[in-house]
């Protein structure tokens, strides 16, 4: 093959097609640069990024504070392993404890690993008590990750079927059905795992009545509560954690996505009660909480709290709230329901949301489809009101095009 006859982009595609495992159906775009909420592709086209790499680029692209911090860290020390101390893990854990009320952190590298850790810590808690409880209760429409444990508490048959048998003893109950949850829980339940606001499942916040039932179910059975805040936590709803808004008191919490603002890091937050039951050697990670990842997390958490980013989510969240509901009025044949809060939103359509994604790219806005009919928005947490308005104008055009085309 001669490379002079093909464009740079076609060359990228062809090389991947030969050598990268084909597990992702990618959009035909290659990004080369970003600046805040904007991304630029290999042809120099500009896009407003309302997805931020699935909630990961939490401070937008090329954030100067993150760039400075990780460049500086790279000149000092990146990694030493968990066989030694370094100054940053304790600082990140201290901040996470102040935000969550959970006193201890275990560091890992992704959301699925954080969920995996939470499931193991729940098992370990009951093992230590001399009363092993193997069962977990999870919700329908849940998504907790792709590793075996996390997949075992993820409801989607499409993800599960090729990999069975998964962990035994997992019961799924319908979302926001208090009676079903209370009927499912028993003294065999080790833990109930929930996303306080479901993300991949179509942006579904748990109702206050269901949250009350979760608290009641835990109280009557002794089951631990695991809150998966990988997508909805860390400022996404305008507060540190959505579990607090719902009045939930989890024993273990999983974090990922936004925490490293683009640098891979995950964390499990653990109450002192559960932490007491865990011993040296029970769990570990070679990379977990290395200096690079912790420096990024520390910079993110400082921006989130002292930099006013959480207040920004609340302020710009109102713009999304008003304008997305106005879009639903404008496109009534297409938009069935608008769900979300802060800077996590889903437009539930009357049909497959797939065509909105390429229509968005053509209009210069990045969104994605989840749960088949839902257009999901997870913009950077520091998006401005003006940027939000421009991005939503582009989304409006994309919805008009997708609606007209079908």
Ligand X SMILES: *Cc1c(COP(=O)(O)O)cnc(C)c1O
189 binds ligand X (CB under 6 A): no
Rank residues 264 and 364 by Cβ distance to ligand X and give the closer one: 264
Rank residues 155 and 221 by Cβ distance to ligand X and give the closer one: 155
Rank residues 199 and 289 by Cβ distance to ligand X and give the closer one: 199
345 binds ligand X (CB under 6 A): no
111 binds ligand X (CB under 6 A): yes
**Residue 37 phi, psi (nearest 5):** -85, -5
DSSP string, 42-105: TT--EEEESSHHHHT-TT-BT-HHHHHHHHHHHHH-S---TTS--HHHHHHHHHHHHHHS--EE
Q: Which residues contact 204 (CB under 8 A, 6 or more apart)?
A: 141, 175, 176, 197, 198, 339, 346
- What pairs with residue 197 in β-bridges? 205
Rank residues 204 and 394 by Cβ distance to ligand X and give the closer one: 204
Q: How far apart are CA 54 and CA 170, in angstroms?
A: 27
303 binds ligand X (CB under 6 A): no
Given a contact cutoff of 8 angstroms between Cβ atoms, the answer to whether 186 and 221 are in contact is yes
200 binds ligand X (CB under 6 A): yes
Q: Which residues contact 146 (CB under 8 A, 6 or more apart)?
A: 112, 154, 159
Q: If you search the block for the tokens 């009641």, which residue do you land on?
A: 216
Q: How far apart are CA 33 and CA 308, in angstroms?
A: 26
151 binds ligand X (CB under 6 A): no
Among 60, 149, 199, 202, binds ligand X (CB under 6 A): 199
195 binds ligand X (CB under 6 A): yes
Q: How far apart are CA 272 and CA 396, in angstroms?
A: 48
Shortest approach of ligand X to residue 147 CB, angstroms? Answer: 7
Among 136, 143, 210, 300, binds ligand X (CB under 6 A): 143
115 binds ligand X (CB under 6 A): yes
Rank residues 157 and 306 by Cβ distance to ligand X and give the closer one: 157
245 binds ligand X (CB under 6 A): no
Which is nearest to 45 in space by CA: 398, 401, 365, 354?
Answer: 365
Among 34, 36, 60, 145, binds ligand X (CB under 6 A): 145
Shortest approach of ligand X to residue 280 CB, angstroms? Answer: 26
Q: How far apart are CA 356 and CA 375, in angstroms?
A: 7
Among 175, 230, 343, 344, binds ligand X (CB under 6 A): 230
Q: How far apart are CA 52 and CA 158, in angstroms?
A: 25
138 binds ligand X (CB under 6 A): no
Shortest approach of ligand X to residue 231 CB, angstroms? Answer: 3
Number of alpha helices (DSSP H) and beta strands (DSSP E) in the chain: 15, 17
Segment contacting ligand X by CB under 6 A, of 1-9, 193-201, 289-297, 377-385: 193-201
Number of residues that bind ligand X (CB under 6 A): 15
Among 144, 171, 251, 323, binds ligand X (CB under 6 A): 144
262 binds ligand X (CB under 6 A): no
Given a contact cutoff of 8 angstroms between Cβ atoms, the answer to whether 339 and 370 are in contact is no
- Residues 45 to 74: which contact ligand X by CB under 6 A? none
Q: Which SS3 state, helix, strand or coil, does residue 377 take?
A: strand
Q: How far apart are CA 90 and CA 147, in angstroms?
A: 27
Binding footprint of ligand X on the chain (CB under 6 A): 110-112, 115, 143-145, 195, 199-200, 228, 230-231, 256-257
């Amino acid at each position: 093959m001669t490379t002079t006859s093909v464009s740079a982009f076609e060359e990228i595609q062809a090389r991947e097609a030969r050598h990268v495992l084909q597990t992702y159906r990618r959009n035909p775009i290659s990004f080369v640069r970003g600046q805040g909420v904007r991304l630029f592709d290999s042809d120099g086209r500009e896009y407003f990024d309302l997805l931020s790499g699935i909630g990961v680029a939490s401070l937008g692209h090329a954030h100067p504070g993150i760039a400075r911090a990780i460049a500086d860290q790279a000149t000092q020390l990146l990694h030493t392993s968990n066989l030694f101390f370094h100054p940053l893990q304790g600082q990140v854990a201290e901040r996470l404890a102040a935000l969550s009320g959970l006193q201890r952190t275990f560091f890992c590298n992704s959301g699925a690993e954080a969920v995996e850790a939470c499931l193991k810590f729940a098992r370990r808690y009951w093992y230590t008590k001399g009363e092993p409880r193997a069962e977990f209760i999870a919700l329908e429409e849940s998504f907790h990750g792709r590793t075996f444990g996390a997949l075992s508490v993820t409801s989607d048959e499409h993800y599960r079927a090729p990999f069975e048998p998964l962990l035994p003893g997992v019961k799924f109950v319908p979302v926001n059905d208090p009676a079903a949850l209370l009927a499912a829980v028993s003294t065999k339940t080790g833990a109930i795992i929930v996303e306080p606001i479901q993300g991949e499942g179509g942006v579904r916040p748990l109702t206050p009545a269901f949250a009350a039932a979760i608290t009641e179910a835990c109280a009557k059975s002794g089951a631990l509560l695991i809150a998966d805040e990988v997508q909805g936590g860390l400022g996404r709803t305008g507060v540190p954690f959505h579990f607090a808004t719902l009045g939930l008191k989890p024993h273990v919490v999983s974090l990922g996505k936004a925490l490293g603002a683009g640098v891979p890091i995950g964390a499990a937050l653990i109450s002192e009660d559960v932490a007491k039951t865990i011993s040296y050697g029970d769990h570990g990670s070679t990379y977990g909480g290395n200096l690079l990842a912790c420096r990024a997390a520390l910079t993110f958490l400082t921006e989130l709290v002292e930099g006013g980013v959480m207040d920004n989510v609340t302020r710009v969240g109102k713009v999304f709230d008003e304008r997305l509901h106005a879009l639903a009025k404008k496109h009534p044949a297409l938009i069935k329901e608008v769900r979300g809060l802060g800077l996590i939103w889903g437009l539930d359509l009357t049909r497959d949301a797939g065509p909105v994604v390429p229509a968005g790219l053509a209009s210069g806005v990045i969104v994605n489809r989840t749960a088949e009919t839902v257009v999901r928005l997870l913009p950077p947490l520091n998006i401005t009101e003006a940027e939000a308005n421009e991005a939503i104008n582009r989304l409006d055009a994309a919805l008009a095009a997708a609606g007209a085309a079908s």
